[in-house]
Chains A and B, each alone.
Chain A
Amino acid sequence: MNGFDSYRVRERADVARWILIGAFLVLSGAFFRTQILQHDKFQLKAETNRLRPIPLTPPRGAIFDRHGEIIAENVPGYSVKLLAPNRDSLRAVLATVGHFVPLDTSDVTEIVRRYAAARYQPVVVFGDATFETVARLEEHRAVLPGLVIQSEPKRLYPSGRAVAHLVGYVSEVTESDLSAGRYPGAGLGSIVGKAGLEREYDDTLRGGEGVRYIEVNARGRLVREEASAATLPPTPGRPITTTIDLDLQKYIDSMWPAGIRGAMVAMTPSGQVRALYSAPTYDPNAFVGGISAALWRALNQDEARPLLNRAIQTRYPPASPFKLAIAAMALKRGLIGLDTHMPAPCRGGMRLGNRVFRCWKKEGHGSLDLVGAVASSCDVYFYQLGLRLGLDAIVEDGVLMGFRDKSGIDLENEVDPIYPATTAYFDRLYGPRHWSPPATTLNFSIGQGENTQTVINMMRFYEGLAGDGNAAAPYLVHPAGAKPRSLGLTPEQLDGLRRALIAVVEHGTASASRHADLAVAGKTGTAQNPHGEDHGWFIGFAPADKPELVVGGIMEFAKHGTTVAPYVVRALRRYILGPDVAGPIKVKVLLDETASPQDTAPRPVELDPDSAAAQAQADSARRAAAPR
């Protein structure tokens, strides 16, 4: 074939050589671009392919009481997580886990649900695993692909139930929390404070998460726990020191009668909260590492609502303790003096229009001055005082004294009290001509009506009475910047009101709780409860001449304040006189002995001398006597 003479072949061979070299250069260029110019981009892609970040939980800041006693701390714990390529293999591994440690079906369902939310993260199986669990799983690691066991600091509340509502609890942040931006800086899997101090000071306590990397293969299976990538250590959270007196807090918990719902708050006249207790309580340690679904359901469905903080989240009618507010209004406005008698003496009731408003004591108190009326909680005296003030003045001064505002304590979810801003409120509520101003006035005068207060807000008012007439916002860690509320009373007027409160305990409605070694001032109250038995109030402070501590408590369905008074007095004695005088920390069933309505024996009047409940008791005594 004549196409193959040497000249032609050489020509074609040259073309072919250049084509080959050209192709070589094109390929080299493509590799140079991929491997050298775009190296960083592909290096990053390669690492995101194979490295999965695992968040490292920072140790939360400790919470101390004012003496440095530990309220919340961290102890070493273990979390067990699983990294799974898909749902089916997760279920398969969980089934294997179930051979070694107990794992019920509801737990499995929950784990799979959590996995679906973040498929590329290891899913938490046991947030707080015991050493035995970890040891058993570690032993069978070969048949548990994707097992990630991490040592993590875990929260511990040494006083447990005693501090539950005060300190709150921690748990893993939820997706709705994140989307609502409630926890700045938190990500999926972060442990955050969900209630109490843990919630309020979460920013301080939480610290910054660290991260480490594990290596996975193309199917998302864990290959190496220790990847050769840098680990970012977590930043520990900062500790906080509270104003709490842990001994008092625990003492209140131990003396609180079993089965009784209510709350007790102790604070200094300057607003430092020394104890804050709500019953029934729960164990905040149960939330560490994820609360079990069954327990969470139980806590939420219990009709006693143990998660509710009754010191700040429940409103009660302020009842007789509010009489001091009425007295303070009248004194401030100069309508009466401390020794002023009302025109009508108490004869067991008062007629208004065609209705009779009764005093709790059928026999009547006779003519009393202000101190006497406070001491014996005479309703008729305060009816007349309320009418003299007028409803407008009661509403206006009540707003000024803070009965319409939150106490401002540094805890989240404090509810607003209910108190009218003006009398127009009643017009709106009932219609202009469908309510009777004088009757409403009488109700307000004895702390009933459209007026409900939280325990902490009533405490703030008594804090003013116990101190210099200025009520600062109560606080646990940082005092609020706001100005204290002034009650607007002169020192003499304050002194007079205190004397009246001393008289309550010395020879008035709470005289049963009197002890010779500590002068206590206070006021009992019985909040009328349309849903059942009345609630009992007592707010007191001691020492009466130079108050150091104000303690207030409410017990639901306790029928009257005299039931509560001994507990409050006991707390005061514990704090001021110390554990030696106050007696052993365990005291129980006192309520049952003193205040059973079925107890038919006639009782001395001074033992149960408070409004509605005392009256009911007197009735029952009379009924018991009648057949004879």
Chain B
Amino acid sequence: MRSAALDRRLLWVSLGLMLFGLLTLYSAGQTDVPTHAAGVWYRQFIWFLVGVAAGWVVFHVSLRLLEWLAPALYAFSLALLGVVLVVGTGAGTAQSSHSWLSVGGHQIGQPSELAKVATVLMLARYLSGRKEPPRSLRDLLVPGLIVGVPFLLVLKQPDLGSAIVFIGIAFAMLFWAGVRPRLLFMVASPGLSLLLAFNNWAWGAWMVGFTTLLVLWRPYIYDATVVWCLNVAMGAVALPLWKRLEPYQQNRLLTFLNPEADPRAAGYHAIQSRVAIGSGGWFGTGYTQGPQKRLAFLPEQHTDFVFPIVGEELGFLGVMIALSLFLALFLALLRIARRATDSFSSLVTFGILGLFFTHVFENVGMTVNLMPITGIPLPFFSYGGSFFIICSLCLGLAFRVAWDSRQSGYPDI
């Protein structure tokens, strides 16, 4: 295997994103106020080297071996998620959660990151092993379990941001496997019903519209009944469920709707993030010069809210460059998934695309109040060892898929 045979587009885009991320992380440490973000770019650089090495190793592993290993990996990651629920520790702003695995007092990683990749592999293995794409709810039962178990374990930590990523991965891969969109919509409908249940009129309208759609689409009668009942049930449990949410989760949802309601506490992140981004204007204040970041008005500026630094210091122009790089990454992954030699490789690549996309859209979206705030890192930008290594592993997988298809002379389509 010669590195010259690597997929060029993916190579340049991922190198570009990693460089952009490291530079932004360097800027995050340049403040007038002492913060613990001061030296993180250097540590991230170490992780960068480790990650590249890990990606290189994965690149050399055959997809067939991974397909064979998938159940073991999946079981191992589930076991880790179970262990972490018992002995896990919190970190950073989420001290009370159980998301970190520690050995001898050293935090060695977040098992949920590994579980994401393991779930992608396991789901790809299951879906590619089927003769036909799932056509009914019954067919979706197994995929639902494969995703649902790690999803619930992560949700229990509690880590809503990572849990959402599992949903994103599931929908992306089911779609790529050929599940009809209307079935996916029906699967998603109880969730929408839950969201809309907070307003009686909206929920009423939703139920009328949804019932009409069911009548028009004529799915399996069993599926329709189950989904319709689930929608009604979600409407009924919305309020009790809301009351069971942690107060900080309630606040995040509320402040998403109206950040000014509590500007000092819950809405602080949402407001300060937009202030930093908005003050950037067209061209920003200049690299490392952003006053909101320098004076520590921007919270979590090296982890979840690293992207507003781009907005403040490099302006709309810098944001467009970053978003275009991400779009280019997604399109490159999409191209690799299309050209993959086999359905397993294709599904893995598309699962990785789903993983990256969920992270990027949720993280970038929450900085401009487009999405509610959840603790979710931005690939290649946010500081964090295990996440960066997982991202590198994913890229290594994608490079391998691309290499395989090139080796087999799979036509460009």
Contact B319 A3 (CB under 8 A): no
Out of B279, B295, B324, which one reaches A45, CB within 8 Å?
B279
> Which A6-55 residues sit within 8 Å CB-CB of chain B?
6, 8-10, 12-13, 15-17, 20-21, 23-24, 26-28, 30-36, 38-39, 41-43, 45-46, 49-50
Docked complex Cα distance between A545 and B238 (Å): 103
Contact A1 B295 (CB under 8 A): no
Docked complex Cα distance between A17 and B332 (Å): 11
Contact B275 A45 (CB under 8 A): yes
> Which A352-396 residues sit within 8 Å CB-CB of chain B?
none
Contact A50 B131 (CB under 8 A): no
B12 located at the interface, meaning its Cβ lies under 8 Å from any Cβ of chain A in the complex: no
A223 located at the interface, meaning its Cβ lies under 8 Å from any Cβ of chain B in the complex: yes
For A46, the closest partner residue in chain B by CB is B279
Docked complex Cα distance between A27 and B292 (Å): 22
Docked complex Cα distance between A32 and B128 (Å): 41
B177 located at the interface, meaning its Cβ lies under 8 Å from any Cβ of chain A in the complex: yes
Contact B133 A3 (CB under 8 A): yes
Query: Which residues in B have their C-beta under 8 angstroms from that of A9?
Result: 338, 346, 413
Contact B132 A216 (CB under 8 A): no
B357 located at the interface, meaning its Cβ lies under 8 Å from any Cβ of chain A in the complex: yes
Contact A50 B297 (CB under 8 A): yes
For A35, the closest partner residue in chain B by CB is B316
Docked complex Cα distance between A16 and B33 (Å): 44
B246 located at the interface, meaning its Cβ lies under 8 Å from any Cβ of chain A in the complex: no
Out of A4, A39, A41, A49, which one reaches B292, CB within 8 Å?
A49
Docked complex Cα distance between A202 and B32 (Å): 42
Docked complex Cα distance between A3 and B175 (Å): 11
A230 located at the interface, meaning its Cβ lies under 8 Å from any Cβ of chain B in the complex: no
Query: Which residues in A have their C-beta under 8 angstroms from that of B175?
Result: 12, 15-16
Contact B295 A20 (CB under 8 A): no
Query: Which residues in B have their C-beta under 8 angstroms from that of A16?
Result: 175-176, 334, 350, 353
Contact B32 A223 (CB under 8 A): yes
Contacts A20-B331, A23-B357, A217-B32 given: A39-B178 contact, CB under 8 Å? no
A219 located at the interface, meaning its Cβ lies under 8 Å from any Cβ of chain B in the complex: yes
Contact A35 B291 (CB under 8 A): no
Contact B334 A3 (CB under 8 A): no
Docked complex Cα distance between A10 and B319 (Å): 30
B365 located at the interface, meaning its Cβ lies under 8 Å from any Cβ of chain A in the complex: yes
Contact B338 A31 (CB under 8 A): no
Query: Which residues in B have their C-beta under 8 angstroms from that of A36?
Result: 281-282, 316
A2 located at the interface, meaning its Cβ lies under 8 Å from any Cβ of chain B in the complex: yes
Query: Which residues in A have their C-beta under 8 angstroms from that of B280?
Result: 35, 39
For A3, the closest partner residue in chain B by CB is B178
Contact A50 B291 (CB under 8 A): yes
Minimal beta-carbon separation of A165 from chain B (angstroms): 50
Contact B133 A26 (CB under 8 A): no
Contacts A16-B176, A31-B368, A43-B278 given: A218-B357 contact, CB under 8 Å? no
> Which B298-339 residues sit within 8 Å CB-CB of chain A?
311, 315-316, 319-320, 323-324, 326-327, 330-331, 334, 337-338
Contact B370 A27 (CB under 8 A): yes
Contact A27 B127 (CB under 8 A): no
Contacts A9-B346, A35-B319 given: A50-B365 contact, CB under 8 Å? no
Docked complex Cα distance between A224 and B32 (Å): 10
Query: Which residues in A have their C-beta under 8 angstroms from that of B370?
Result: 26-27, 30
A416 located at the interface, meaning its Cβ lies under 8 Å from any Cβ of chain B in the complex: no
Contact A34 B277 (CB under 8 A): yes
A406 located at the interface, meaning its Cβ lies under 8 Å from any Cβ of chain B in the complex: no
B364 located at the interface, meaning its Cβ lies under 8 Å from any Cβ of chain A in the complex: yes
Contact B276 A46 (CB under 8 A): yes
The number of inter-chain residue pairs (CB within 8 angstroms) is 147
Contact B276 A2 (CB under 8 A): no
Minimal beta-carbon separation of B296 from chain A (angstroms): 4
Query: Which residues in A have their C-beta under 8 angstroms from that of B244?
Result: none
Category for how many chain B residues contact A:
35 or more
Contact A219 B130 (CB under 8 A): no
Docked complex Cα distance between A10 and B178 (Å): 11
Contact B343 A41 (CB under 8 A): no
Minimal beta-carbon separation of B363 from chain A (angstroms): 10
For A24, the closest partner residue in chain B by CB is B327
- Binary per-residue interface labels of chain B (154-177) against chain A in the complex, 1 for a CB within 8 Å, 0 otherwise: 000000000000000000000111
Docked complex Cα distance between A369 and B365 (Å): 106
- Binary per-residue interface labels of chain A (204-235) against chain B in the complex, 1 for a CB within 8 Å, 0 otherwise: 00000000000111110101100000000000
Query: Which residues in A have their C-beta under 8 angstroms from that of B176?
Result: 12, 16
B361 located at the interface, meaning its Cβ lies under 8 Å from any Cβ of chain A in the complex: yes
Contact B323 A28 (CB under 8 A): yes
Contact A20 B278 (CB under 8 A): no
Contact B33 A221 (CB under 8 A): yes
Contact B338 A218 (CB under 8 A): no
B274 located at the interface, meaning its Cβ lies under 8 Å from any Cβ of chain A in the complex: yes
Contacts A12-B176, A215-B295 given: A1-B132 contact, CB under 8 Å? yes
Docked complex Cα distance between A530 and B246 (Å): 78
Query: Which residues in A have their C-beta under 8 angstroms from that of B291?
Result: 46, 50, 215
Most buried by B among A9, A10, A33, A216: A9
Docked complex Cα distance between A26 and B360 (Å): 13
Query: Which residues in A have their C-beta under 8 angstroms from that of B277?
Result: 31, 34-35, 42
Minimal beta-carbon separation of B130 from chain A (angstroms): 6
Query: Which residues in B have their C-beta under 8 angstroms from that of A215?
Result: 291, 295
Out of A2, A42, A221, which one reaches B278, CB within 8 Å?
A42
Docked complex Cα distance between A321 and B18 (Å): 99
Docked complex Cα distance between A617 and B276 (Å): 87
Docked complex Cα distance between A35 and B331 (Å): 26
For B176, the closest partner residue in chain A by CB is A12
Contact A20 B327 (CB under 8 A): yes
Minimal beta-carbon separation of A16 from chain B (angstroms): 6
For A16, the closest partner residue in chain B by CB is B334
Query: Which residues in A have their C-beta under 8 angstroms from that of B334?
Result: 13, 16-17, 20
Query: Which residues in A have their C-beta under 8 angstroms from that of B365?
Result: 27, 30
Contacts A31-B316, A35-B316 given: A46-B178 contact, CB under 8 Å? no
Minimal beta-carbon separation of A118 from chain B (angstroms): 18
Q: Kindly list 12 other residue pairs between chains A and B, CB separation below 8 angstroms, not including A16-B350, A27-B370, A45-B275.
A: A3-B133, A3-B178, A3-B343, A21-B327, A31-B311, A33-B368, A35-B277, A35-B281, A41-B278, A218-B33, A223-B295, A224-B32
The 6 A-B pairs at the shortest CB distance, nearest first, are namely A42-B278, A3-B178, A46-B279, A217-B295, A218-B296, A3-B133
18 contacts between A and B (CB under 8 A): A17-B331, A20-B327, A20-B330, A20-B357, A27-B365, A31-B319, A35-B277, A35-B282, A35-B311, A36-B282, A45-B271, A46-B276, A46-B297, A49-B292, A49-B297, A215-B295, A223-B295, A224-B32
